[in-house]
Every structure is written in C-alpha cells, then in structure tokens.
Structure 1
Amino acid sequence: MLPTSIGRGLFITASVVYFTKAVGLTPVQVGTGLTIAASIALFAGVPMGHLADRIGPRAMTVAFGLAAALALTAYFLVSNWSAFLAVASLVAIAQSASGAARGALIAGSVPPERRVRTRAYLRVVTNVGWMVGAPLAGVALYLDTDAAYMSVILATGAVTATGALLFLRVPPVARQPESRREPMGAVLRDRPYLALTVLNAVLSIHYGIANVAIPLWVLERTEAPVWIISVLLVINTVMIVTLQVRTSRGSGTVTGAARAQRYAGLLLAAACGLYALAAGLPVWIAASVLMLGAAVHAFGELFQASGGWGLSFELAPDHAQGQYQGLYNTGFQVSDIVAPAVLAVAVIGLGWPGWIVMGACFAAAGLAVPPLARWAERTRPPAPDAATVAAAAKP
C-alpha cells in the first residue's frame, strides 16, 4: 500500500500541471476528461468485484494493480484530449476494479473482528504515502520542465506496479466454490445495502469540502489569509494519521459502525456551521474559526470512514465480498463526481445558507444510517454452520 499511496501523492500533486504544460490541454479539458472517466468507472466496481470473487481476490488485486500502473504510465504517450480521455478512463476503471478486489482480499485474509482496524491502519499508511509523494512531486514543480513532469508520470507507474506486486506476499484467498457463488449483480437487489451505499455517498461529499469548497470560501467569502488553506490540510492529515486507528474501535459490528456514521453526520454538520461562521469575521478570528472547523471536520471524516468500512464488510456475504465492496466503493466515486458542482453551487453560490443546507444533509444522512442498518441486519440470511461450510468447500 505504501508505494501505491506514494504514487498517488506524486500524481495528484503534479498531474494537472503536467497535462496543461507538457501535454497542452486546457484546465477545462482536464476537468471534463477526469469527470467523464470517473463516470465510466462507476460501472466497473461490481462486475470486477464479482470477477475477484470467482477467480480469487489476491490474483485480481495484483492484476488490476498492474493494469493501473500500465495505464498511468500511458499518460506519457498522451498528446491530445481524445487520448487523454481514453487513458484516464482506463486508469479510473483499473483503480475501481483494484479497490473492489482489495476489499475482498482484506475480507478473506483478516478475521471479521479485525477488518475495520486493518483498514484503519491501511488508511494511515495511505496518508503517510501522500505526505511522502507530494513533496517529491514538488521537486518537479520547482524544476518546471517537461522532463521533470514526465519523470513524475513514469515514477508513478513504477511505484504503483511495485505496490501491486507486494500483494503477492499476502497468502492467497480460496475462490468461492460454485455452490456458494452469487450471480453477478446480486448486490443490486440488496435494497438495504443499496440504501446504505447512497447514504455513505452523501456523507462522502465532505471530501470535496477540503479540495473544492474551502479554497474558494477562503478566497471569496472570508478575510482569512490565503495560506490558511494549507494549514487546514495539515490539520486534517495529521489528525487522520494519528487518530484513525483509535477512532475505528467499536466499528467492527453493524451497530457500532452505524453509530460511527451517525456521529460523522452530526460532526460534519457542526463543521459546516463553523465554516459558515468564518464569513465576515476579522482576519485572525476567521482563521481560528476555520481551524476549529477543520478539526471538527476531521473527526467527522474519521468516524465516516470507520463506520463505512464496518457496514460494508459486516453486511456483505463472505462469498460475495468482491461485488459488494465494488458497489460500496461506487458511493465514494459518485461523491467525487458530484461534490465539486454541488459544493460550488451550494456553498459559493448561496454563501452561509449553503453551508447550513449542506450541514442539514450530512446530519440527516448520519441519523438515517442506524435504522437502515437495523433493517439490513434483519434481511441478512443466517450464517451457515461450520459443517455446511466444510461440505460446500469439498470438490
């Protein structure tokens, strides 16, 4: 995971500059292409997760990871918007498929009571990787040459491939016997799971707040200094790295995970209120309120992530974890697509009332999770006993 996340940090930091300066695309072309690619990848998670269930999640995690590395390296060959769109779509599909397979691999390799904690550790590693990759990409930004940017693209592909191959060290997970396999798309008929995926997508819109809403809000609606934007990002990253494992405790059950998402909705609503409050305040008071909002927001993110992991694992049948993880990850992808537009209209267009509307949406989504989780639990089939599982596994 660490090499892959370092590659992610490299790519996110320098890729837009590479596409505009070295390739010659306009910012609108880059944004449109990435949005279209993400939309196409929405349809990859469930079928690719189903393939991981049938063939085995470790093999598919490695294969999809290598495919993502190859696709990332293909950016080196991009010279126009059509080629950019094609490569971006391949990257997005491979990354979506890899996420579904990786979720199934964790579910098959780790005892149920440790799955959420394992995801928490992996998220810490991911954030550390971003912290390493971003400064390295900063070297390319400093040099500001086509060769430097191309080196970042090639390095991203190399470290992503390394990260994929490291999964070969994980013991293989046996593929599910024919008698226990779910047909592809079975998850789409699981209405409680679908509903929880939608609620998690609403809560996941908060990721766009740091990337989209806050920079625009600070620049256009507050008196806070511009550099406070980087301070807010540092607060978030430090809190995720230091607190994610601790706040994941208790989210390994459906009840605990639902409670965590309820906390997340209320905390995110409180953060929206604090961000709104910063408008019109004197410089240093506005900066202080924004930093307090960032801390509350980070706690909301911590609980949202751990609650989402718990629900996605505990409510998915073990023999179909791939396609279930693929669907749940789709919620994150949807939020990535809609968040920039929603936040730009609601927050920047409406001002502080937009923050209140967003906060109300977060609170409503968080409060709706526990009753829906109870509904989902009631619809789960009883777990098979050991004898039944052993019999099904025999050739």
Structure 2
Amino acid sequence: MNVVELVKASLLPELKQNFDDIPITPEHFEEYVKIVELNLRVLFKFLSEQPRDYWTSTEEKLEFDTYLILLLCEVTASNTYHKISNEEMVRHANLLLNSHKPMEPEVEDKIFSYYQAKLEQNVWKTQYGAINGFLRYIEFRYSQENKMKMNWMNFCLAIGLRLRESVETVFKHISLKIFKALLQFSEPSKIKDTNIHSVIYDAVYKDVHYMSSEEATTDIWTCLSICVKFYENIDSTNWSYVDDMIEVLMRNIPINANDLISLSLLRSVTKLGYFFSTNCADIERAIAVDFKNEKELDECRSCCRNNNSRTTLRWAKSILELFVVESYKLLSKQDLCVQLLEEIHRCYMVYILAIPLSIVELHLITFFEKFITVLMEVMVLNEKDEKIAQLIKALLTTFLHHLQNSSCEINEKLLCIQQSLLKLIKLDFFM
C-alpha cells in the first residue's frame, strides 16, 4: 500500500446504518481508533524521512495533501466518538495540519468536492467522520481571516441546516458551530447581502428550549446575538428580537434542572442588557472585572452607570425578581455559589445601576429585603470561605454605591437599607 492509499484508508469509513436509526457510542469506534493510531505513526515517520523527489507528479502530491488534510481534520476534531487518546499524537497532528496554511487552490477545490459528495442529502447520516472533519476544516481554514468564499458560505449554510434534521442533539450542536464559523469568518457585507443571518436566526431560535449542555446553550445564544448584530439600524425589529430573546431566557432560567445551563442563560441575559448601549464595547470590557480588585470594580460601576440601553428599564423588575428566585442556589455547592454571585453582580451592574432610584425604588426595596437575607445565610454557611466573603462584600458595596449615588432624594426605607449595608460591610466576616 502506497502512502496515498494509507491516508485514504485511515479516514473513518461510512457507517453501515444511519446514526438516527441506531445511536452511536464511543465503543463503536474502538477498533478504528487502534488502527488509525498505528497508521498515523507510520505516516508521521514517512513525513519526517520523506525525500524531496519522492513525488513523481504534481497531481500525486496534490492528492496526498488533500487526503492528508482531510484525515488530520478528522483526527483533531474535538468531542468526537472516535477521539484519539494519545495527546502527543493529537498535538503533532495539529501542528502538521497548521503547516498546510496557506494551501494550494487546487487542494481546496478537491476538499470542497470531497465534502460535497460525502455530505449529500441521501448519504450524510452515515458520514460521521466527514461531518466532524468538515467543522474542523472550516475552523482551521478560516479562523484567522474573514474571507470565506461564496461557494463555501452557501455550502456551510446548507450543511448546517441539514444537520438540524437529525434527532441526535450532538449533530444540532455541530450545526451551531458551523453557523458560528460562517457568521464569524465571512465578510459581513456578504452575510447581509444574502440574508444568511436571518436564515440562521430562524433555524437556531427553534431550539432555544432544547439545550443538551452548557456549551450548546452558550453557542445557541452567541449565534443568535451575532445574527441580530447584522441588522444595522436600531429599529423596532431589532428591539423585538432582543426582547424575544430575553423573554425566553428569563423563562428558561428558573425551570432548567441543570444549574450550569441556567448560569449560562443568565450570562446571556447580562450580555443582552447592554446590547444597544452606545458604550456597549466599554461595558463588555468592564464587566470582565477581577472581583478582588476594588479599583477595577469601581471603574466597572462607573461604566455601567452610563448604560443607556432602554432594555434595562423594561426588564429591571423581572431581573430583580429573578435574582430572588435563583438565590436559593447560592446555598448549594461552593463553586456554583461563586459563579452565581459573580454573574448576579455583573447582571445587577448592567441592568440596575443606570436606572434612577426614583424609577426602581419600590422594586429595589422588595429585592433588598429578600436577597440580602439569603446572602446572610450564605455567609453563615461559608463562614471560612474567603473568596465567597470577598464576592458578597463586593456585591453589597455595589448595592451601597447605587443608593449613595442617587441624584434624587432617597426613599426612607432605602435609607434604612443603606445604613444596614454600611454596618454589614464592617462585619468581621469581611475582614
């Protein structure tokens, strides 16, 4: 067997049956993984010893490069059932793949034809290797430039939509990643001219209630947010998109049984809170704050106070109520408590700080009375945890900052809460 045939034989063969008919598992690929690891060792040795005059023709060299790239994309694709366990081998495969940038146009054309044949409507459900390899190829080929050609754009859209026909959530997630790559690695003008963003939005929005993992959840809402950004004018259509997204997020957070998915949804709520603000980029940078750094936190508070997105006004009451509903999770695992405290803090700064107290004071009174009580329980439960103590103090300080920087006369009940916050922050727990 010559080296070209060796590479071809190392590609994952098509499945005997559609993966929608018989669910596949990692055990189905154990023998293949053993074979491909042996073949890769032979291949790597050949490439390290290959003489310069090995290829007898340019066409033979192009064919080898084509199938080598296809193979390397398959074996370096992430989260696959045919994943190679040898990390050093995967690292070497990634280095070898990256060495093929830039690639010859003839190789790219051959790869395009290969995926066209493998991912046709009537055969794609047996092409597990090609599906994962295709996603890896798109990410490898275009991750450093926004120059996806029109034929690749249309093909990515078609394959992404096709994968959503599968009943298996893993393939819907792959389609999300293909959509994200298409949106991020194409010229924005081409996306808008062909209305690709609207097609993707409509397709992805259908799945907002069916989230299989934290990563898939993040990808869904990232994808939807990117789509909305392609609408240039802030008009009623854009407002409607964002409001619809926030409404679904707010409804799904408390009913989701997976705490990490709920946390991911809350992060998306936070991002949508400054989506239309004129200082959107500044807020995005500011809320990545180190919660241990008081100076950075104070700068973040100042930045968020300038959030002029009307989204905050419409959703402030619901956001505060959500914090109270979700607060019981602060009493569970410490790691979840830490992440949730940080995200509630970010969300509060984005949605609430910019609103004058005169508008939100009644909702704030109800919120503070309930939420601060829960924080006291968290303090008792985690009396020796320094990180949680710092996060609670930082959050209480933000509450205090909001009350102390009011441009109007403060409500009597809020004034009492302000005085209580001043006393709380001086407790030994925070020293």
TM-score by length of 1: 0.26
TM-score by length of 2: 0.24
Structure with bigger helix share is: 1
Higher relative contact order (CA 8 A, sep 6+): 1
